[in-house]
Amino acid sequence: MAASLAQRLWRRVRWFASGEAARPVAAFDWISGRVGSRQNPDGMRAVIQASIALLAGTALLDLACLWRHAWAHWELFALIHLAWMGGFMVATALNVGFLETPQGVPLRRLGGPNVLTLARAAAVPLLVYLLAVGDHALAFVGYGLASATDVLDGWWARRAGRQSKLGIVLDPVVDLLLHLGVIGTLGLIGLLGRVALAMILLRSALLVFGTLLLYLWKGCVRIQPTPWGKGTGLVITLATLMLLGLAAWAPGAERVIAALRALCDAVLVLAVLHVVAIGLVNLGRPPVTREPGAGGWGDAGRRPDAGEGAR
């Protein structure tokens, strides 16, 4: 009986760390040469239309923020934001083959949830600029809205049956970029400590290069959320919002700010350890040898898992 209890506890720990036993879960197997390779002209048009609309919307927001700050560093900001938007949208268009359901049915429209995810990506340079010029109040509002879209896009996709492989890939990538930009900038300007800056850089590098290593070595990467990843993301988001709020409206609350900084440091250290643990588990699994499908919902125990965050 003790052995059975230990096995159940271990399965529960593995679920918390890797999400393996969660059913159903929006996930698919990213297998070399098999996923996202279809042509989708209608999807390409949808991506181009969304890109133009987002570029126009972010341009208006940029002008408003630059006017608010007397056009400080406008040349550098405009160059970086245009390059960011152009690169991100081109990368999305080149991977338009992912615009299909987890079962492999092509989609003709980008869908509201994916547009929200792309809008969150477009906001990253603007948030970095606001933090760099010390506008903590507007950064608080912007970061709060961006974090809200992270919850809304996943709920919307599940509620409306609009889940797509493109969204499953975009969501964790955009979350990674958002946290890297915001927390990295907070570390550079001193609102967060050097430990947080180092941990967010290390975690981002481990996720990017670890996923690439699994893809090249094992031949398969499963992208799906984990309870631990969602929990740490929520704690970091709330702590960052509180830091920005205190910096904007209660800069004298040094003790609370110090406590929040310590909390962020601790959670980011645990997040790095979590990524390392997932990587070690996946590296210990055999590579894919049988003929894989184009992606789906099952076989979590027989294929490597990687990634945090999906819709």
Name the residue ranges covered by the structural domains of the chain: 28-33+40-306
Distance CA 207, CA 276 (A): 9
> Is the CA virtual torsion 69, 71, 76, 82 positive or negative?
positive
| Rounded Cα distance, 122 and 118, in Å | 6
Cβ distance 187 to 194 under 8 Å? yes
Tell me how far apart the alpha carbons of residues 199 and 211 are, in angstroms, rounded to a whole number: 18
Structure tokens at 213: 């290593």
Could you tell me if 158 and 311 are in contact, meaning their C-beta atoms sit under 8 angstroms apart? yes
User: Which pLDDT tens digits describe the chain residue by residue (311 residues)?
Assistant: 566 666 666 665 565 555 555 444 455 566 555 555 567 788 888 888 998 999 899 999 999 999 999 999 888 898 889 899 888 888 888 888 888 888 888 888 888 999 999 999 999 999 999 999 999 999 999 999 999 998 899 889 888 888 888 888 899 899 999 999 999 999 999 999 999 999 999 999 999 888 888 777 777 777 777 788 888 889 999 999 999 999 999 888 889 999 999 999 999 999 999 898 888 877 777 776 544 444 433 333 334 444 444 34
Model confidence, pTM: 0.82
How far is Cα 253 from Cα 50, in angstroms, rounded to an integer? 42
The residue type of 184 is G
The span from the CA of 272 to the CA of 42, in Å, is: 40
CA–centroid distance for 23 within its chain: 21
